[in-house]
Amino acid sequence: MMVFDVMANPHNPAGKANISDIARLANVSTATVDRVLNRRAGVREATVQRVLKAAAELAYLPENDLYAALTPSAMRISFVLPKGTNRFIKMLGDTITYSHDSWAPYNVKCRVDYVEGFNPEALATSLKKQAERADGVACMAIEHPLVRDAIEDLVEKGKHVITLITDISNTRRAAYIGLDNRAAGRTAAYLIARFIGARPAKAAMIAGSLSYRAHEEREMGFLYMFKELFPTVDVVGLREGLDSAEENYRLTRQLLEQSPGLAGIYNIGGASDGVARALKEAGLAHKVVFIGHGLTPDTRALLIDGTMDAVITQNPQTTTMNSIRIFANLRDRRPVMSGVDPVQSQIIFRENLP
């Protein structure tokens, strides 16, 4: 990094322009000029450009140094995602990793760090490490004091934090990018009830983990929709499958044994293929209404063969682009949501597959 003396011009002989001259021409303090020329944070972009323009007019910097000063370092962004078998999260990570050309206009560098899923200690440890390697951090948060403390620690150190897919309470995160998850749960309940028809029936839920606020909110929306509009449908319980296909398979077999005549299943999280395998083995594919989340190659195949009836999803490209725009807004001190597209919930059936 170039370091300039605020008291003297290292590039020009005595009598030529100096820091004070630049400050007067740009109508700022010498301290602000010092911050701009040494590329320190805390100066508005418009002020930076004014200072650099004044430096150029006064021929204070050689051309090479001026070009370097005019070219800010790329903002370093870390996406912290859970590793595991959730294919939608894998698609999101791949979108971030392999779409560098799309981020070029925003002058950012993105990386993806995967941590053990549903483990607040592992997530908090990874978040704290990002303080040394990132200017902005996006994560799928877990509702846990360790995670809240790690986010607050990043904010205290001047790092921007946003949450993806699932939010967290009582932190100073800058923004949340994801679905309205209560609405998603209500939508799933509405679809199941309409598919079942006007008759008494039983429905069940399988979540990844209620430590995700998104999954908790989907459960709440699901339950309240039946209570309000479809009281003849009895929700027989909730299981947590940790987005594991094997665990979801086991839990679905258990649900089918404990609740003969089960009419609907809502998979709140990932690994819908585990649920589907249990339904097929029991001869109940096409008979039990099955709603899940995340359009991926496996859920696409399940829609096509009729095992799944509908998938509630969001676009991973839109999620990533919105994250980049928010970080650029925070860096440039624009309104946080300027130019950010609202995340739209999509309901995909076999007949409208994109």
Q: Is 342 exposed, middle or buried (0-12, 13-18, 19+ CB in 10 A)?
A: exposed
- CATH superfamily entry for domain 181-313: Response regulator (3.40.50.2300)
Chain segment 100-153, per-residue pLDDT in tens: 878 878 889 999 999 999 999 999 999 999 999 999 999 999 999 999 999 999
Say what the pLDDT of residue 293 is: 97
- Average pLDDT taken over every residue of the chain: 90
Q: Percent of the chain, pLDDT > 90?
A: 75
Q: For the chain, where do the domains classified as CATH 1.10.260 start and end?
A: 19-70
Q: For the chain, where do the domains classified as CATH 3.40.50.2300 start and end?
A: 75-178+316-341, 181-313
Q: Quick one: average pLDDT of 307-328?
A: 95
In this structure, CATH architecture of domain 75-178+316-341: 3-Layer(aba) Sandwich (3.40)
Residue 224 pLDDT more than 70?
Answer: yes
Confidence band of 161 (pLDDT split at 50, 70, 90): very high
Q: Contact 233/226 with Cβ under 8 angstroms? A: yes
Say what the pLDDT of residue 273 is: 97
d(C-alpha 139, C-alpha 294), whole Å = 18
Q: Six-digit token pair at 66?
A: 């001026």
- The fold of the 19-70 domain, in CATH, is 434 Repressor (Amino-terminal Domain) (1.10.260)
Chain segment 30-42, per-residue pLDDT in tens: 998 888 887 776 7
What is the distance in angstroms between the CA of the first residue and the CA of the last residue of the chain? 48
Confidence band of 99 (pLDDT split at 50, 70, 90): confident
Q: What's the DSSP call for residue 287?
A: T
Residue 202 pLDDT more than 50?
Answer: yes
Say what the pLDDT of residue 89 is: 95
H-state helical runs in the chain: 19-26, 30-37, 45-57, 63-70, 87-97, 100-103, 120-129, 145-156, 181-196, 213-229, 245-258, 272-281, 297-304, 316-332
Residue 10 pLDDT more than 70?
Answer: no
Q: Quick one: average pLDDT of 268-296?
A: 97
